Structure 1
C-alpha cells in the first residue's frame, strides 16, 4: 500500500514538470541575446530544445519503465487475486463440508435432545464442546470468506485506477516528447541552412554564446559529446577520404552541443573547405584537438576554454555525408599530424 501511495504522488510531480516544459517560450518570443541577432537566437533555440528533448526523453523512458514495472506488478497482483479466488472457493467448500458433517453427526440437535440422549455428564460435555467448535469453525470460515472477497474487490479497484492514471500520464509524456522533437527538427534544419551558407561563403558568423551546463566537470578530460554513436574510426579507408580517415566520427544530430575535451585555448576558428565549420583547440603538452563539420561556434579565437565547456554545435558542413562530429587529436594545429584520438583520450581517462 505504501508503494502505491508513492506512485500516486509521482504522477502530479511529473505532470507539473511537463507543464513547465510546455509553457516555456519558443524562439519567436525569446530575446536573441548576444551574438549576431537572429542567428544567435536560432542556435540558442536549438540548444534549448536539445536539452528539453533530453529531459522529455528521460521522463518518457522513466514513464515507460514504470509502466513495465506496473505491468509486472499487475501480473503478480492478478496471480494473487487468482489465489484469493481459489481460497474463497475452498472456504465455500469448507462450509459445505462442515454443514454435511453436522447433518451426519446430528450436530444440529437441540440442547434438550442432546441431554436426553447423552449417556452421562461427560458425554454431554463432549457433545456441547463439539457443537461449539463446529459453530466457531463455521463463523470463522464465513468471516474469512467475506474478508477475502472485500480485499479482492479493493485490489481490483486500486489496480484499475492506477492503470488509468499511468496510461494518461504516458500519453501526455509521449505527446510532449513528439512536440519538442518536431520543433527541434525544424530548428535544426534552419540552423544547418545558415551553416551551409557560411561555409559556402567561407565566412564564419561569429561566436554564438550558449547557456552552459550548470554542473561543472570534476574530471580534467571528457568526451566531445554527451551521447553518441561511434561511426567512422581513425585509420579507416574508403572513397570518401583521399588516404585514410584522420579522426573519430561521432554520429549525433545537428545542433548537438560539442564540448572541449580538456582545458585549452582556441587556436583557430574557420569556415569553408573540406571540414566546413571547424574549431581547433591547443592543450598543454603540445597537443591539439579539432572539431569539424559544425553548424555553429560558441567561442572566439584566443579564448580560454575549460573541460566540458560547450564550444559549438554539431552539423554537416563541408565534405560530410550526414550529421556528425569529426574529432581529431593532433601534434600540430594543421591536418596531417593526427594521432589515434580514441587511444589519446583513453590515456587521459576517457573511454569511448
Structure 2
C-alpha cells in the first residue's frame, strides 16, 4: 500500500514539472516571434526611416539645383539682353562713323595733305582741322574696339552661363532619377512594415519596440512640439465620418507609412497596444495630467513604462486598425480612455504649438 504522504508530495512535483514545460514552450514561441518577426519589423522600420531621410535629402538637393538652374537661366537672359543692347550701340557708332566720314569728305577731309595746306588760310587753321579729325577718328576707333571687346566678353559669358545651366539640368536629372529609385525602394519597405504591423494587430500582440537610432537634436529646447515634423492636416476633432459615429475624437495628420511620430512633450508611456480599432497605438501620460494617443501606427519605438522627452520618436505612422489610408491619428485626453478627448489643435496652441 502506497504511503499517503508520498502521494501528497508527488502532486506538487508533477505540477511544478508541467509549469516548467509550459514556460519553456512559451519562451520558445516568444523567441521564434522575436527572431522571425520582431527583428524583421525592427529592420523594416529602420530601413523605412533611413529611406525617408534619403528621399528628403535628395528632394532638397533637387530643389536646390533647380533654383540654381533658374538663377543661371535668368543670368543668361540678362547677358543676352545686355549683348543685344551693346550690338545696337555698336551699330549706332558705325552709323555715326559713316556720317562723320561723309562730312569730312564734304568739308575736304578727303583732300590730299598738299591740297589742304594750299587751301588753308593759315597754319593754325590747318593744325586745328587736322587735330579735330585725328581726335574724332581716335575716339571712334577706341569706341569700336571697346564695343567689340565687350561683345566678345559677353558672348563668352553667355556660353559659360549656358554650359553651367546645362550642367545643372543634367545634375537635376540624375537627382530626380535617384529620388525615384529611393521612392520605389521606400514603397516596398513601407508595405513590408505595414504588413508586419497588420500581422501584429491580427495577433493582438506587439512585436516589440523598433529602435530607430534617432539622432540627438539640440533644437528641442521647447517643452512641446508637433507630433510629426512635416504633414497635412486631414480629419479634425469633432468632424463626422463613417468610421466614427459620434464625431472624430482626434486630429489626423496625413503622412507616409513609416514617418517618425514624436511625443509632443515629456511624459511616460502608459500603453502600447496592437489591437482594436486604433490598430498599433501608443499612449503617453504627461506631467500636467493629460494623455496623448498616437494611433494607426506601423511600428512602436518605445516600451510601456518608458520615459520620453519632447520630440522623441514613439513610433512610425501607418494605416493599421480602422483606417482608410496612411496617417497619424492623434488625440489629447483627460484620462487614458476613449471618450475623454479635447480638441488637439486648441490644446497644442495653448502649449505654444500652432499647426
Bin of the TM-score, shorter chain as denominator length: 0.7 to 0.9
Q: Distance in 1 between matches of 2:87 and 2:216?
A: 55
1:206 Cα deviation after fit = 0.4
Name the count of aligned residue pairs. 320
Q: Match of 2:67?
A: 65
Q: How does 1:154-193 map to 2 (within 5 A)?
A: 154-193=156-195
Match of 1:323? Answer: 326
| Alignment-derived partner of residue 99 in structure 1 | 101
Shift of 1:74: 2.4
Report the counterpart of residue 348 of structure 1 in structure 2.
351
Structure 1 pair 163–59 and aligned structure 2 pair: CA distance change class (3 A): same
Write the mapping of 1:26-65 to structure 2, written as runs, cut at 5 A. 36-65=38-67
Match of 1:83 in 2: 85
Contact 1:228 1:252 in 2 (8 A): yes
SS in 1 for 2:163: helix
Question: What SS does the corresponding residue of 2:38 show, helix, strand or coil?
Answer: coil
Distance 1:165 1:244 in 2: 54
Residue number in structure 1 paired with 2:224:
221
For the 8 Å contact 1:49–1:180, the answer to whether it is kept is: yes
Q: Contact (CA 8 Å) 1:266, 1:304: kept in 2 or not?
A: yes
| Match of residue 235, structure 2, among 232, 237, 246 | 232
**Partner residue, 1:28:** none
Q: Secondary structure at the match of 2:88?
A: helix
Residue 255 (str. 1) matches residue 262 (str. 2): no
Q: Distance in 1 between matches of 2:196 and 2:78?
A: 55
Aligned to 2:283: 280
Unmatched tracts of structure 1, length 5 or more: 1-31
Partner of 1:290: 293
1:114 corresponds to 2:116: yes
Q: CA deviation at 1:139?
A: 1.7
Structure 1 runs of 4+ off > 3 angstroms? none
For residues 61-104 of structure 1, the C-alpha deviation after alignment (integer angstroms, 9 at most, x for no partner) is: 11122222222222222221221221222222222222222222
SS in 2 for 1:37: helix
Offset of 1:310 from its aligned partner?
0.8
Looking at structure 1, the residues matched to 145 and 230 of structure 2 have their Cα atoms a distance apart, in angstroms, of 59
The Cα offsets for residues 182-211 of structure 1, whole Å up to 9 and x where unpaired, read as 111110011111111111111100001111
Answer whether contact 1:315 1:323 (CA < 8 A) is retained.
Answer: yes
Query: Aligned partners of 2:52 and 2:63: how far apart in 1?
Result: 16
82-91 or 287-296: bigger deviation: 82-91
With the length of structure 1 as denominator, give the TM-score of the two structures.
0.87
Q: CA deviation at 1:320?
A: 0.2
Q: CA RMSD in A?
A: 1.7
Match of 1:26 in 2: none
SS at match of 1:238: coil
Q: 2:297 touches 2:315 (CA, 8 Å); kept in 1?
A: yes
Deviation at 1:150, TM superposition (A): 1.2
Structure 2: any 5+ residue segments left out of the alignment? 1-33
Q: Name which of structure 1's ranges 189-198 and 92-101 shifts more when overlaid on structure 2.
A: 92-101
Alignment-derived partner of residue 340 in structure 2: 337
